[in-house]
Structure 1
Amino acid sequence: MKDIRPIRDEADYDWALSEIEKYFDDEPKRGSPAADRFEVLLGLIDAYEAKHWDIEAPDPIEAIKLHMSQSGRTNSDLAELLGSRPRATEILKRRRALTMDMVRKLNRDWHIPAEVLIQPYHLEKQNGSRVS
């Protein structure tokens, strides 16, 4: 493949980004040498970003809210899954911690990764102060 090299530093990373930029405007035909080059460059960029810019997973409550937003689920859907509307509201307002049973249901039925749901996160006291 023409001019492919490892991405070892920011200069290499910038070079790779500039190389793939043209493919976004004119996507190469699948199976062509240009498509193969594009795929290899994307893989190199992805590996570099994963190594150098570790993105923290959202806390469990933010993950639930994000999933609900992206999938069109409502508070009523969460209440149905967790067994009651007050429980779902307390979870979303950080007044109640997720139980392992809730984590299993969210993982099994909504496919939210369990490793995200079991992360520590803060809860709110009734007066609005935080508890870890």
Structure 2
Amino acid sequence: MNLLLARNVDYNYLRLYSLDRIEGVNLTDAHFVLPKDFCAKEYFAEYFGIVLDESVPLQRIVLRADKCHQHYMRTLPLHHSQREIYACDDYADFELALRPTYDFYMKLMSFGNMIKVLEPESLQEKIYK
């Protein structure tokens, strides 16, 4: 996927645009320069995927993977911050630190009943709804 990181002029925040979705481009006199200390690796570190929403706070998330899915979670972590905090024969608990955005919700829901959100309660409720 080819993406473009740009400032959205209507809302004055950074946004990712998928190049295959852009239908047209107009050249304007408006200019934007990233701050010299901007680091893309640091900026994206708190996000799961391509949905960027600075209004979503960074959160500690604890997921429980069932006895079969725990092996998948170990070999293919969901996020670079993921770490295993407990394991037994029946399940394993994993902790992540990220901003849970729409793409993260969709990923969790794709696992069905193989995982369970233990924390935070607000994320449990969103997944349930």
TM-score (norm 2): 0.22
Between structures 1 and 2, the one with greater strand share = 2
Q: Which has the higher contact order (CA 8 A, sep 6+)?
A: 2
Rg comparison, structure with higher value? 1
